[in-house]
Amino acid sequence: ISVVSALTPKSDAAQNLAKEVRALTPPTGTHPLVGGSDAVLVDSKDSIGGRLPIAVALVALTTFVLLFLFTGSVVQPLRALVLNVISLAATLGVMTWIFQDGNLSSLLGFTAQPMEMSMTVLMFCIAFGLSMDYEVFVTSRIKELHDLGKDNETAVADGLGHTGRIVSAAAFLLAVSFFAFG
């Protein structure tokens, strides 16, 4: 038997329907399957959501330990993680506001749709990795200058001055390459 829902695909109601149908007790000797985009979305959310806290904890702990070993500071890795997460959370919030909630849809010419959870997680991972890479790049230059005997203020100012243009150029090139794909 094939049953198709009249609900809007990927809507909360359609996802709830997939869960409700799966929760029904099937007749003896049958093995009904629930498929379609809504069932796949429910499965994806369950799979990603179930493992995401562990993955986030491992990445945060590993990043903290590596930055601690690199800098010898407890504050620096914590600052890097907190500022990175705040920045990326704001970015994802703006993306949700624009693309999922549909703000600016008339200006940009698109129809608002739910964001794919797997793509959101992937974008967050890529952006986190790149921003931590830039963080290490800038921090290493500041540490080099500090190890050469410069005071904190001068080491930070010179370190940012030496690496700021390189990091900005790398980010610009990455943005241009992403824009070319989209």
pLDDT digits (tens, 9 = 90+) for 130-149: 889 889 989 999 999 999 99
CB contact burial 50-61 (16+ within 10 A = b; e otherwise) = eeeeeeeeeebe
Q: Kindly indicate the confidence band of residue 164, based on its pLDDT and cuts at 50, 70 and 90.
A: confident
Tell me: the pLDDT tens digits for 25-36?
Answer: 998 999 889 998
Q: Kindly indicate the confidence band of residue 171, based on its pLDDT and cuts at 50, 70 and 90.
A: confident
Tell me: the pLDDT tens digits for 64-118?
Answer: 999 999 888 999 999 999 999 999 999 999 999 998 899 999 998 988 887 888 8
Domain that holds residue 158: 53-181
Considering the domain boundaries, does residue 100 fall inside one?
yes
Considering the domain boundaries, does residue 141 fall inside one?
yes
Considering the domain boundaries, does residue 128 fall inside one?
yes
Structurally, how many domains does the chain consist of?
Answer: 1
Considering the domain boundaries, does residue 116 fall inside one?
yes
Whole-angstrom CA distances from 62 to 23, 65, 128 are 39, 5, 13
Please name the amino acid found at residue 73. S
Please name the amino acid found at residue 153. E
Considering the domain boundaries, does residue 71 fall inside one?
yes
Considering the domain boundaries, does residue 12 fall inside one?
no
Considering the domain boundaries, does residue 114 fall inside one?
yes
pTM equals 0.75
Considering the domain boundaries, does residue 70 fall inside one?
yes
Task: Give the helix ranges, DSSP H, for 10-116.
Answer: 12-23, 37-71, 75-95, 105-108
